Chains A and B, each alone.
Chain A
């Protein structure tokens, strides 16, 4: 008897058996449905979060280095304390870096503060005020929607101009065109020369609630000794390591560090955030995997139970099949297929529910994504659960003595 017709026969038998015991099959399936649903939703949630995250951090360029006093992710409190003793990053650091670097496409200093901004009678709280130069247009992914960005002339001189984010434009100016209007930051008047394109959110914060002013203006009017950041865009993505090393050496040179002294600055990169994030989702995934396997385990026990019942009930049928020539393998396969079919059925139901749930979650809570990979994994896991939990009952059926099986009532 060839394997294919054995499988077809097994499928026919299990289909008939499932139909004959509808209620029981549905109840047995329930555990598997819950188990597979957990697998699928976990996967979809992690997948969705990952994708959303990648979208989020894409506003940080992959080939941009962020030189700052602190490392973005501190390994310990002691680290943080020691980094506090580092000198702040200054405008001079930035200018020297720009002068000395050979592999950089653009170098932009960035100083940030938060302030209240006023226009006529309206005011906006907690607006991010960024002081930078025209190079920022290259190191960041901001784009101008209306008007112009800062120019070298703005940055060099002390023209009180500013470029405003999309949120500021809508909140302060409502229907008016902001171009040419003057707004007040800490009672200093700035003329709006451009409006940025909408950027969206990063980690729950709006990237559009900001005002960009020339750095010299920032230092003169808003904060004279800020802790700055230098954004360095490498000219090619391919030689990132070299570019980073050059940047490090240049910074050490600027800071007059002896070879035995450690760096007193940190070079941060987008991939640090990505690494950090993946570490977080890995933890979630491991916890999820545990919960999921628990649910599947319970479901599997349900299947094993129902299969044992099914085997005992059909002892006589097994005897008849053996009498007319079914081998052990054939009987084993028959019951394995039955268990796998129940589980596969449960898996499909779970996928259906998961599909609806994913749509709902994405609409109202957070982005989730039911990818083809997750669907395939769910189907495989459900079949595997069936095969594993069906094995013992099927084995018992396969090993039955035909004489005793035929004698049973």
Chain B
């Protein structure tokens, strides 16, 4: 690694000269390329984006647009080929596997379309898991997990396993798991995709409520009416930001 890259790898950027220093999420000219067979696929091309603390953002786009890639990058599951990503004041674009795992544990709460709960563990243990990885002592862990489950209305379901819960309840467990570490961002990927519209609406209401409480929320979706519940819609097409619109409510 040569000198100038080391400079950019500096994790803490707190310069007042940097106009983006206060953004929770700061993406600067991010590109992500994949090798597929012999060809190079440009999933994202020079995307720059800022999201402030407390925002409620929807990321939209057809499949293959690059929205999943963008979500993976924002969620620190992946690193950009070029460009810089500063999350909560920390440059994460050059981090290795283990550092990223720590950042995900601390900063990001994931909610997936398919819930992705551990099938053999009950709700309580599923919610405890991020705290286990964070090294929180057992009694505190249990207290926090129970509180998180109570916050999503599942105080009476803590010892149920995923297959003993309805789809909506499972997604609530997932939301509780995402929030139990008090992350900077709640990152929801098609959170209603596997739910009927009634339970889908309930989950969206829960997300709306979390937003009102001040959580930063990013919802990735291809459904217009889901996206319209956010305050800001970012549309991705062909690896570029096609539009970035702030909704007035």
A residues with CB within 8 A of B: 1-2, 5, 9, 16-17, 20, 316-317, 319-330, 402-403, 406
Partner of A325, one of B102, B117, B121: B102
- B116: interface (CB < 8 Å): yes
**A5-B132 contact in complex given A323-B77, A403-B72, A403-B78, C-beta closer than 8 Å:** yes
**By the criterion CB–CB under 8 Å, are A324 and B120 in contact?**
no
**A329-B116 contact in complex given A5-B135, A9-B132, A324-B177, C-beta closer than 8 Å:** no
Give bound CA distance, A328 to B101, whole Å: 9
B110 proximity list for chain A (CB < 8 A): 323-324
Give bound CA distance, A228 to B117, whole Å: 87
**A330-B133 contact in complex given A324-B110, A325-B102, C-beta closer than 8 Å:** yes
Say how far B69's CB is from chain A's closest CB, in angstroms.
9
Interface residues of B in 133-184 (CB under 8 A from A): 133-135, 138, 177, 181
Inter-chain pairs besides A316-B116, A320-B118, 12 sampled, C-beta below 8 Å:
A1-B134, A319-B116, A320-B112, A321-B133, A323-B75, A324-B104, A324-B105, A325-B101, A326-B133, A327-B98, A403-B72, A406-B77
For the complex of A and B, 6 pairs with smallest distance between CB atoms: A325-B105, A1-B135, A325-B133, A16-B120, A327-B101, A320-B116
Between A and B, 30 residue pairs with Cβ closer than 8 Å are: A9-B132, A17-B120, A316-B116, A319-B116, A320-B118, A321-B133, A322-B101, A323-B75, A323-B104, A324-B105, A324-B177, A325-B102, A325-B104, A325-B105, A325-B106, A325-B130, A325-B134, A325-B181, A326-B101, A327-B97, A327-B98, A327-B133, A328-B98, A328-B101, A329-B98, A403-B72, A403-B77, A403-B78, A406-B112, A406-B116
- B129: interface (CB < 8 Å): yes
Q: Who on chain B is nearest to A2 by CB?
A: B135
Give bound CA distance, A316 to B110, whole Å: 14
Say how far B129's CB is from chain A's closest CB, in angstroms.
6
A406 proximity list for chain B (CB < 8 A): 77, 112, 116
Partner of A324, one of B121, B133, B135: B133
Say how far A338's CB is from chain B's closest CB, in angstroms.
13
B121 proximity list for chain A (CB < 8 A): 16
B residues with CB within 8 A of A: 72, 75, 77-78, 97-98, 101-102, 104-106, 110, 112, 116-118, 120-121, 129-130, 132-135, 138, 177, 181
B77 proximity list for chain A (CB < 8 A): 322-323, 402-403, 406
Give bound CA distance, A406 to B71, whole Å: 13
A9 proximity list for chain B (CB < 8 A): 132
Say how far B96's CB is from chain A's closest CB, in angstroms.
10
Q: Who on chain B is nearest to A409 by CB?
A: B114
**By the criterion CB–CB under 8 Å, are B118 and A317 in contact?**
yes
Give bound CA distance, A330 to B97, whole Å: 12
**By the criterion CB–CB under 8 Å, are A324 and B130 in contact?**
yes
Q: Who on chain A is nearest to B181 by CB?
A: A325
Say how far B91's CB is from chain A's closest CB, in angstroms.
19
B104 proximity list for chain A (CB < 8 A): 322-325
